[in-house]
Amino acid sequence: MGWKLLLRRSTLIEAHHCANLLEAAGIRAQVRNRFLAGAIGEIPPTEAWPQVWIPEAQDSDAALARLRELSDEIDRSAPDWQCPACGERIEPQFGACWQCGHARPGD
């Protein structure tokens, strides 16, 4: 089975996040260029960015649309939370307070 480039992200974390969202939606995905950061300077920086690839048979437009939908759902679905120990407001993607290390309630 062949693969095609869907998108590039400037960080490995972003690329893996996109691939994980696609996989959760039932769309196979691979992250490539995971170890090319050291080549920046020898090759253009954007060529060294991590890439998300999908099977050739997969519709790229549909995959990108699904990725946008999932990202929007995540942004809307989880509100910030307040640390019960120190009162700091924490973004929803974090499971512990960055200020004092207290775990998010319910985790």
CB 57 within 8 A of CB 67: no
DSSP 102: P
Separation between Cα atoms, residue 5 and residue 3, nearest integer Å: 7
* Comparison of pLDDT for 106 and 15, the residue scoring more: 15
pTM, two decimal places: 0.65
Report the mean per-residue pLDDT for the chain.
90
pLDDT per residue as tens digits for the range 54-101: 999 999 999 999 988 887 766 566 788 999 999 999 988 888 999 999
